Amino acid sequence: MWNVSMLFWNILGAVVYLVAASHGWVIPAERDAGIHAVTGEPFVWFAAIAPVLALFLLTNLIWVIVISVRRQWKHSRMWFLGFPIWITAIIVDFAHHG
């Protein structure tokens, strides 16, 4: 049961990541007008996502350590389902950068 909740928290974390990352996305109206302002966006983007990524990297690392120590290999399937969630979130994020 705790594996399902951890997977849920990863989904929630990916959503929080996307909301935080959206502050650094290119504004479509500016892109259409040919404006490419990148002065501080990478710094704003990184400052917004770094705590989210650090928290969930640590959480998922602890999760896999618990699975390994307890030798509950069947629970690792849920852990592996976190990868496509985070990869999808990163792809969506990077698709919105100019």
Residue-by-residue DSSP string for 17-33 = HHHHHGGGSPPHHHHHT
Both structure tokens of 27: 């504004």
Q: What is the mean pLDDT of residues 14-43?
A: 80
pTM for this entry: 0.83
Q: What is the mean pLDDT of residues 16-45?
A: 79
Q: What is the pLDDT of residues 43-88, one digit of tens each?
A: 888 998 999 999 999 999 999 999 899 888 887 888 899 999 999 9
Apex 83 CA angle, 97 and 89, nearest 5: 25
Q: What is the mean pLDDT of residues 33-49?
A: 79
Q: CA 40 to CA 27: how far, in whole Å?
A: 14
Rounded percentage of the chain residues whose pLDDT exceeds 70: 92
Q: Which residues have CB under 8 Å from 6's CB, separation 6+?
A: 59, 63, 78, 79, 82
Question: Domain boundaries in the chain?
Answer: 2-95
Average pLDDT of the chain to the nearest whole number: 87
